[in-house]
Structure 1
Amino acid sequence: MKYLSCILLVLFTFQIQAQEQISLETCYQLVTQNYPLVKQTELLEAQNKLEAAVISTSKLPKIDLDAYATYQSEVIEFPVAMSGVEPLNKDQYRATVTVNQLIYNGGATTAALDLKSAQLKTKQKQIEVQLYQLKLQINQLYFSILLAQESDALLKAKHTLLEAKLKEIQSGIKNGSVVPSSDNVLEAELLKVDQQSKAVNSNKKTLIETLSTLITFPLDASIVFETPIVVHDIQHQISRPELDVFQLKKDEIENSENLISKQNAPKLLGFATGGYGNPGLNILDNSFQPFYTVGLKLNWNVFDWNANKKQRESLSITKDIIENETEIFKLNTNIELNKQQDEINKIEDFISSDKQIVTLRETVLQTAASQLQNGVITASAYLIELTNLYEDEQTLAAHKIQLELAKANYNIIKGQ
């Protein structure tokens, strides 16, 4: 997995550097690969392996070492008829090694391993949910950069137009067809446009740095951000990763129920004990001697006061709670989708009227330009119409970008 991620990262880097541009989809992919939270996926896998290894030790022999020495105030005494038997020592010593081997436990070990596996899947999917939610932040940053990029382009176009018009005015002043000092108005506006351009670029630089930090990937201020054409399908079903988390939590509960059902199953163990002590197994031999025992042991909790049953009932209620949370999540998501769709419809209406306004402003500006050239109006009057056109073009550009942002957010909310 690490090797594949490195290859993809290199490919992304090469593509971005070669084309000096980046797309919204690339930002999505970069954040899911580079964001620090991604490291937790591997950490969870390592942790799960260790915990599974601990559970699996129940299948291995367990070895216990015991040693003790005692002194008894009284020992067994033998009748006079057996006076030839040496009395037992009041001080006794024993050291033993016992090996217990689980033979059967009703599948409890396998059930515990299955539960651990289910818990790992849930935790990893929760990480995926957190990474997925970062896409909304990326949308906001990415489209804000696009708006700054578009604003800068409009300012450059305005600057070019003003420079051309300034040359015409200066020529008219020399010919006496234009009122003197009219060029001062345009020169002041050019300085104002330069200030606006610097402010836009400064804001764009900040946004790019923030996005670069979020996706943990270097982005140059000169990089071009592609304008995505976002397609959203209002008929598409919700497919958010949160729904997978709810399902995995229910799978966890089912595995927990299975484990609980195995807890009261009979457990069969084999054991062997070897030792050395005084006395040994033959208490009549009052000396140090080795000994051993082997056998089988059965343990079965026949009645647990319905504790097992109550645990399963509690888990069943938890499953109902998760089902309820799923329905609430779907309801809230649909509410957000409806709001977002209303926003899309509203912006589309704005764009339609924006285009008409810009067309009318262009006609008015053409007339004002002709009047300025013929000395009918002042440069200030012309500048008012130019500013009106620029502001309306800026509004149109902003609405177009807002529309794509609304569609992109719609897709993220839906999980498309």
Structure 2
Amino acid sequence: MKKYLIFFLTWPLFAGLENLEIDQAISILKHNNLELKISHFNEQMKAYEAAAAKGQHYGKVDVAVTGMRSNDAGNVFGFKLQSREATFGDFGFAEFDMSGSTNPLPVAPQELNYPEARDHYQTKISYMLPLYTGGKLSEYGRITKALQRMSQWDTEKLMNEKIFQTKKAFYDITLVENYIVNLSKIIQNIQQLEAVVKSMGEEGYAQEIDLLEVQARLAEAESMHNQAKLNRDLAYQFLSFLLNEEVTSIKKVNEMAPLPTINTKALEENNIDIQKALLGLQISKMAVNVEKANYLPTIGAFGEYGSADNTLWNEFRDKEAYTVGVQLKWNIFNGGSDSANLQKAKVNHLKVQDQVALAKSGTALKVKKLETEILSKNADVESYTKQLRFAQKVYENYRARYKEGIVSISDVLIKQSKELEVLLKLLTIKNERNTKIFELNSVLNTGGNV
């Protein structure tokens, strides 16, 4: 009993989403889809890159604490100078004959040449600030900001693709479930026909081959029915993958997705490929400005403040020191590399201008092509719908005529086969039409609107 109680308590934890609506699915998609999460991480990294580029304007502050010990004559004397402790005795004056009776110049001072080892601790704070870079730092900041926006466009394009796939999964499931219902009716009709043939066979009006032919057609229809159920299960698995959550059933939608309204002005404002091309054009212009900056000087300021002693942080204020300065650097010749890079950037800018024009014209052409294909599919759907109704009526007529002995069982099954064929074609055409609709929505950047 305890085992069954545990099962019923934990069962809801494993239950999937049931009777899921398409708007709910799109909302879940936006929060749960793993590819979208990865794309949002890319956005965050681009944002940090933009912040890092902006930080270059404020310069850099370094703190260095150095500890050393040496008996090298130059080092020891330098340590004493930095510690402000050097004396004349360090030059060996105590070893000179100050009476003047001997020449002190040839004397090698022992204290200076062979000093005792000394500890040295130096603490230094340095600050470097770019004052003028010819606009290069500013352009780098704008470029990284534009690249951050580009990553957002990439995420939005991926979002459209995933919404496209989610909508298609809903319509695919709806279509295949309706197809399964129609196949079930056809199977029932064949089973009824099988019963008629058996009855007529018992009365001597049908042959065994007639029954075998009907049973073969029944097996074919049942095989199509099973395949349709497998396709439905696969569509549910794909939808669960998109939402990163198990989906067991959906609320069915209309078989025919609505055709969106097409507005040329809105298309250019909303289409992601066009917006990315326009942003790329801005970036290429910034790249030209970066190359122009190579012809201008750079000016930077720096400052250092610190203290040194043979004991760490001893008498820090008494032995402090500072250095400030400004540097101007201007490259006046580098073999023509700057000129070549500038011309390359200008050519790239011209290329991107043409890419923008191509994106606009290409997108308009793609929209027109999709619209034409959808209208053509609409006509096909209407045609096959009429053909299906006609095929169903013909089959019913031939089945009745078979009972009267006017036509053979082969004639009946041929008409029934035509019904199956038209039903499958209608399913395929509706699926292709819906795919074109969702693709058009993606190009128009209509987002989650169905």
TM-score, length-scaled by structure 1 = 0.72
Correspondence for 2:219 among 175, 191, 202? 191
1:8-407 superposed matches below 5 A? 17-18=17-18, 20-23=19-22, 26=25, 30=29, 33-42=32-41, 44-45=43-44, 48-49=47-48, 52=51, 56=55, 59=59, 61-65=61-65, 70-71=72-73, 89-90=112-113, 96-102=122-128, 105-106=131-132, 113-134=141-162, 144-167=172-195, 176=203, 179=206, 181=208, 185-220=213-248, 223=250, 225-226=252-253, 227=255, 229-236=257-264, 237-238=267-268, 239-253=270-284, 261=293, 264-276=297-309, 291-305=319-333, 314-407=344-437
Q: Distance in 1 between matches of 2:333 and 2:362?
A: 42
Q: Distance in 2 between matches of 1:409 and 1:198?
A: 30
Contact 2:25/2:243 (<8 A) preserved: no
Residue 245 of structure 1 aligns to a residue whose secondary structure is helix
Contact 1:154/1:394 (<8 A) preserved: no
Structure 2 residue aligned with 1:282 = none
Residue 275 of structure 1 aligns to a residue whose secondary structure is strand
Query: Which letter maps to 2:374?
Result: I
Aligned residues: 388
**% identical equivalent positions:** 11
Q: Distance in 2 between matches of 1:232 and 1:192?
A: 39
Q: 1:328 to 1:68 in 2, by over 3 A?
A: farther
How far is 1:403 from its partner?
Answer: 1.9
Contact 2:170/2:250 (<8 A) preserved: no
Structure 1 residue aligned with 2:6 = none
Query: Which letter maps to 1:329?
Result: A
Q: 1:141 to 1:314 in 2, by over 3 A?
A: same
Extract unaligned runs of 5+ from structure 1. Answer: 1-12, 278-289
How far is 1:137 from its partner?
Answer: 5.3
Q: Distance in 1 between matches of 2:353 and 2:44?
A: 27
Deviations 1:229-250 (A, max 9, x none): 2223344424332333333444
Contact 1:38/1:127 (<8 A) preserved: no
Q: Distance in 2 between matches of 1:276 and 1:254?
A: 54
Q: 1:408 to 1:32 in 2, by over 3 A?
A: farther
Q: Distance in 1 between matches of 2:440 and 2:356?
A: 20
Residue 308 of structure 2 aligns to a residue whose secondary structure is strand
Residue 269 of structure 1 aligns to a residue whose secondary structure is strand
Q: 1:321 to 1:415 in 2, by over 3 A?
A: same
Query: Which letter maps to 1:267?
Result: G
Query: Which letter maps to 2:112?
Result: N
Contact 2:30/2:36 (<8 A) preserved: no
Q: Distance in 1 between matches of 2:54 and 2:98?
A: 58
Q: 1:82 to 1:25 in 2, by over 3 A?
A: farther
How far is 1:329 from its partner?
Answer: 3.2
Matched, 1:411 2:441: yes
Query: Which letter maps to 1:348?
Result: N
Residue 389 of structure 1 aligns to a residue whose secondary structure is helix
RMSD (Å) for aligned C-alpha atoms? 4.6
Contact 2:50/2:145 (<8 A) preserved: no
Q: 1:228 to 1:90 in 2, by over 3 A?
A: farther
Contact 2:61/2:128 (<8 A) preserved: yes
Contact 2:126/2:304 (<8 A) preserved: yes
| Range moving further from structure 2, 382-391 or 58-67 | 58-67
Extract unaligned runs of 5+ from structure 2. Answer: 1-12, 78-89, 311-317
Q: Distance in 1 between matches of 2:215 and 2:234?
A: 29
TM-score, length-scaled by structure 2 = 0.67
Structure 2 residue aligned with 1:5 = none
